[in-house]
Chains A and B, each alone.
Chain A
Amino acid sequence: MFTIRCPYCGERDQSEFSNGGEAHVTRPKDPEQISDREWSEYVFIRANPKGIYYERWVHTHGCKKWFNAVRNTSTDEILKVYKIGETPPPLKEFKNTIKTPSGEPDVGSGNFSVKKP
């Protein structure tokens, strides 16, 4: 459980929000003109990385507004929130925070509660 700063209402509990998956997946302008593969990449394929991720959130139990956020999926830190239509901040702004303090690998989870020598 963490808090999210809604760009319209301010900081609220996570339980008031719903996650809307990856942000900035643009709906093709002319769907009829693209191949099955391109279309299904838009519909089904998402990055889902461990680390920094552009996400969409909606303040479901609040103002019902959608907005974008940059979240570190391995630490759940929300690094930035910005309104729909605003330019996304470049990812390199947030370097060096991909890993958890336990030094887990980039993929998968594990037990690393003891600091590696």
Chain B
Amino acid sequence: MTESKIYFKFDGKKYAGNEGDTIAAALLRNNVRLIGRSFKYHRPRGIYTCGIEEPNALVQIINEHNEPNVRATVKKIYEGMIVKSQNRWPSLKTDLGSINNILSPIFSAGFYYKTFMGPKGFWKNVYEPLIRRTAGLGKPPKEFKSKSIHQHHNVDVIIVGGGLSGLLAARKFAGTNYDVLLVEREDAFGGILKNANKIKSINDQPTDEWLEKTERLIRNSNNIKILKNTLVTTYNFSDHLIALEDKNVGKPQDNEKPELVLHKIRTKHTILANGHIERFITFRNNDLPGVMLAASFEKYLNRYSVVPDESPVIFTNNSSTFSLLKSLTDLGHRPKAYVDIRDQKNIEKETLELLEKFSIPFYPKSEVEGCEGQKEVKKVSIRTKKNKISKIKTSMLCVSGGFNPDIHLFTQSKGLLKWDKDHLTFKPDRIFQKTITLGSVSGNFSYEKLLVEVEKKLSEFEGLNELEVKFELNGSEKFQIKELWETKHEKKSIWSKSFIDLQNDVTTKDLRQAVNEGFNRIEHLKRFTTNSMGTDQGKISSINALGIVSKILKKDISEVGTTTYRPPYSPVNFSAIAGRSTYEFYDPERKTPLHSWHVKQNAVFENVGQWKRPWYFKKSEDETMHQAVQREAEQVRKTAGILDGSTLGKIEIKGKDALTFVNLMYTNSFTKMKPKTGRYALMLGEDGMVKDDGIVCKINDQHFIVTTTTGNAASVLAHMEEYSQTEWPNLNVYMNSITEQFATFNLSGPKSRVIMSRVFNDIDFSNDQFPFMSFNNFKYLDTEIRILRASFTGELGYEIYVPPSHALKLWQRFFISSRDFDLVPYGTETMHLLRAEKGYIIVGQDTDGTVTPLDLNLNWMIGKKKKDFIGKRSLTRTDIVRENRKQLVGLVPVDKTLGIEEGQHVIEHKDLSLPIKDPVDMLGHVTSSYFSPNLNHSVAMALIRGGKRKIGSRLFVSTENLNTIAVEVVEPNFIDPKNERMML
């Protein structure tokens, strides 16, 4: 067989691997053992496992936007892949960070919590930069545009795992009426059949043949959809699962196609057949490169045809390692030694026969006490039956500490566990959702019983296929294990450590120390020591930690309990979660019908909700924002300006009871209001706080149009809907958003009447015919427009509502008709400035959900004679009528050259003591502040305690340094207090 070689780079050096190899398999093929440095102590680390559970072999893929913390044991190689090791400097072999290992006594459990306490300023300048440089795993990825997508499924049954149990289940469902999704995380089905040498044949066929036939059968049935390279990461409430599919396995990234697919699966039944994970045993230096789990070693032999080592030492506490022994000797290799902690009389006959046949040194009732070596295992130290230390030279040690059903998903679904005394592990007990566990995940490690289990657990389904399966096994399937979590240290040195969590560098000593310090609850202990908090979530070690802790606490392990398993099962890329919701697709952009005109006029835009609004217009390239706003604001009060107000929310309210409804929604009274007039209105929450403001226009008692602030358009409509449906369903009223049905122009300034008369020369805009706060509909070309006389600047002003199709032409006509007045287009910033000069509030800027109309001096807007409106009763609550509530006032600096900053505190005293020892009494804060070009000094508004009574007094405003600015407290109305200009 000729295999084409695939070349890739690891830390700058070129290596060849076979097609289908993972990075780890390929590196082992090339005899590379040292893969990375550890998280805290920078100890050399190698490949520990052969799959998703890997704690150590994390690498960075340079040519995939620097993707960090990729498991070398999962990621497949492809031609030209560039891989780098992590957390080392300057190189993997000589890493300066490894000095942490010598300093390790100070890095014990709770180190961060205890150490970085002082002196002041050290955290920011010394500790944090230092920790950021030395701790951690990979470097963050470089920016790239995700092309990941989301996909939704609705199925009857999902089968998680395409190993033996999953395939048997799928086989039962093939060709039936059930809609089935079969999910496998590897690129091939088979699981244990491909990984280990436990089953000789199925139905008298080699396992590969049976696999192929079964897969073909499943593939040809049109009711089963297959997802490979797909990992189920999440098992949510109500039968909802999330799975992550990698579309680029063994291929370089394609810039055109999605690299990841996030599957969101809703199902009626979930069959978990996701198998088991081997666990390790803790001994001295159990982290050295060269230590590997036994089943993983066997997986490399069988699945990848890689022999990581021809003569490893095998260390076990259970009968499963027979399979590894057989795989190795079948290939003609001879292990250096076989160390079993069990008594010889408990060890299986077939194991003993193999050991004898190949005369493999055998150590029954013995244990591995530790390993020696600097960058990899050189010697294994064995404590023999007679309590003597015997050292064996070897470069690899295979460990098996037993098996854990992979209960992660089961517990995510809220299933309950129980302790299995025979297998020394937790297994599923009671289900919470419609979950079925099959095979080793259910704690059933027997192939004979598997068939019975499948038949029994799937009996609730109707019309399934009959299974005819007969297994022939290699050796017996009896499983026997002796409890062992940790072996005793023989040697004490700084270098000698027994790790319980390899990825987070947690030692068993840390566990003891944590218990000593009082962290005797497993959830507390986990967080204090960071045990099982790495990206691997302690898959090979968390049960061992429970075992060790239960021994320290002298409790039963089931009393200690497990920590909570939370999704995801394994890290999920942010790009997959984001899917297509990135950049321009993150949130829709809304543009007004005049947007193109604004762009041409060099508008700088501001985001207001989803809307793009002109913030200010740049007249020339070098005009600053301040200059532009001052110019615009001055021009409006001199002649006229025009604002694109199309984003304003507009809601149409109709129905027999529209008047009653509007009276309930707003504070004002609309009963006596004449048709064709508008009114500035306030909307409160039931708590009496200002929720929104706008203009309510009455067409007649059955028909209103109200405006809302741009940002609240949707929530105001929802608020109205809620009350009309739930509180007053008896009212005959309907409402609808018409925000986008009309473009709105706000024309403002002393010349606006002249301009209006020029644009609409058949309409009489005189005070008599068109008084303040009146409106009317007019024919305009082939459509109809509505003109309302209103003002948000304090100047004579008109609002023009025009269908979007006619907006741009009409807008341009305004400029053509007013060349002699230098009509100025202005943006939101100038609008804010102009209204601040008049002391008009902006909901959300001068209010924050704790402000009542009384606090804003808007008592005049409250229809006191109305029996009820939303929030009315709250306005008489004792806390609301309290005198020293924060109230809106105006502020003017005493020194007129000074500017006040928004958000600064208003305080009573000029001097702040240095250093500040006592809390400074804060009266309130500045909500709005602008430099008024029309007054030539700053004007500000502030919410301050007992503000109304403080008018006329002098207070101080803080600044970014310790100086304060003296201010006069005034009524918040700076220009034209008698409102003569807008009545012009």
Contacts and interface: CB of A to CB of B under 8 A. Distances in A.
Interface in A16-63: 20, 27-28, 31-32, 34, 36, 39-40, 42-44, 56, 58, 60
Interface string B416-444: 11110000001001111000000000000
A113 B419 CA distance: 11
A1 interface: yes
A32 to B, nearest CB: 7
Interface string B679-717: 000000011000000000000000000000000000000
B728 to A, nearest CB: 9
A85 B727 CA distance: 10
Contact of B722 (A20, A36, A117): A20
Contact of A115 (B417, B718, B873): B417
Contact of A113 (B236, B565, B687): B565
B558 A117 contact: yes
A3 interface: yes
B612 interface: no
A63 to B, nearest CB: 11
A66 B725 CA distance: 7
A96 interface: no
B922 to A, nearest CB: 26
A36 B726 contact: no
Contacts of B686: 42-43
Nearest to B419: A114
Contacts of A43: 686-687, 874
Interface string A87-117: 0000000000000111000000001111101
B237 A2 contact: yes
Given A2-B240, A43-B686, A113-B562, A101 B426 contact: no
B266 A114 contact: no
Contact of B558 (A20, A28, A60, A114): A114
Nearest to A77: B238
A102 B416 contact: yes
Contact of B416 (A58, A64, A115): A115
Contacts of A58: 718, 721-722
Contact of B240 (A1, A20, A28): A1
A87 to B, nearest CB: 15
Interface string B864-904: 00011000111001100000000000000000000000000
A32 B411 CA distance: 53
B878 A114 contact: no
A31 B414 contact: no
B581 to A, nearest CB: 13
Given A3-B266, A102-B416, A111-B523, A76 B872 contact: no
A39 B873 contact: yes
Given A36-B877, A113-B561, A101 B237 contact: no
A85 B558 CA distance: 50
Contact of A56 (B562, B718, B726): B726
B563 interface: yes
B557 to A, nearest CB: 9
A65 interface: yes
23 contacts: A1-B240, A2-B237, A20-B722, A20-B726, A28-B873, A31-B868, A32-B872, A39-B874, A42-B686, A43-B687, A44-B687, A56-B726, A58-B722, A65-B725, A66-B721, A84-B725, A100-B414, A101-B416, A102-B414, A113-B562, A114-B416, A115-B416, A115-B417
Q: Which 8 pairs between the two chains have the least Cβ-Cβ distance?
A: A31-B873, A2-B238, A66-B725, A114-B561, A115-B416, A101-B432, A114-B417, A111-B564
Given A43-B687, A113-B561, 15 more contacts: A1-B238, A3-B266, A32-B868, A39-B877, A40-B877, A64-B721, A75-B432, A85-B729, A101-B430, A111-B522, A112-B416, A112-B561, A113-B416, A114-B419, A114-B562
